[in-house]
Structure 1
Amino acid sequence: MEIDLDGPEPLYEQIAAVLGARITDGTYESRRRIPSEAALCEEFSVSRPTARAAVKLLNDRGLTVTVRGKGTFVAGEE
């Protein structure tokens, strides 16, 4: 899935959709770390606030959990 820089959807929503698809298809396994904000900035050529907003959206949707000082992890099945 490509990011559409000129499309109407905000970049952070597009990035969250890509990451959400990777979580769903098992690319990012349950209870394992997703790429850092810095890695997301590099992969998608976006600013740190955009990457942070995408991760926050995943957290808000319950797909990930951020642990201070450790990173962001795919939410595990309870």
Structure 2
Amino acid sequence: MGEIDLDGPEPLFEQVAAAITRRIAAGTYQVGRRIPAVRAIADEFGVSQSTAEAAVRLLRERGLTRATHGRGTFVIAKPEEPAADA
């Protein structure tokens, strides 16, 4: 679990979204493949389902995933790499 800080200042849903984003960037969750269900994310990270839902919603808002009714949430893009000269 050690990817999130339950007592840290950053909201839990943002920490969970960041952890999943890192997995997408690393190829653990590949473009075109499904990410775990909200319940599984909640269980893995030790957060409520509403926190896990907020994390998944944030990934959609950032354009990384798309929900397909009855099928799950799929990765549609890798996160943008920061510019080397920035």
TM-score, with length taken from structure 1: 0.93
Give the 5 Å matches for 1:60-75.
Answer: 60-75=61-76
SS in 2 for 1:62: coil
SS in 1 for 2:67: strand
User: Which position in structure 2 is the counterpart of 1:52?
Assistant: 53
Q: Provide the rounded CA distance (Å) in 1 between the counterparts of 2:68 and 2:11.
A: 26
SS in 2 for 1:6: coil
Q: Which has the larger Rg?
A: 2
Instruction: Structure 2: state its 5+ residue gaps.
Output: 79-86
User: Which position in structure 2 is the counterpart of 1:6?
Assistant: 7
For 2:65, the aligned partner's letter is T
Detail structure 1 runs of 4+ shifted over 6 Å in the superposition. none
User: Which position in structure 2 is the counterpart of 1:34?
Assistant: 35
**Identical amino acids, percent of aligned pairs:** 57
Question: 2:59·2:65 contact (CA, 8 Å) conserved in 1?
Answer: yes
Instruction: Structure 1: state its 5+ residue gaps.
Output: none
SS in 2 for 1:46: coil
SS in 1 for 2:63: coil
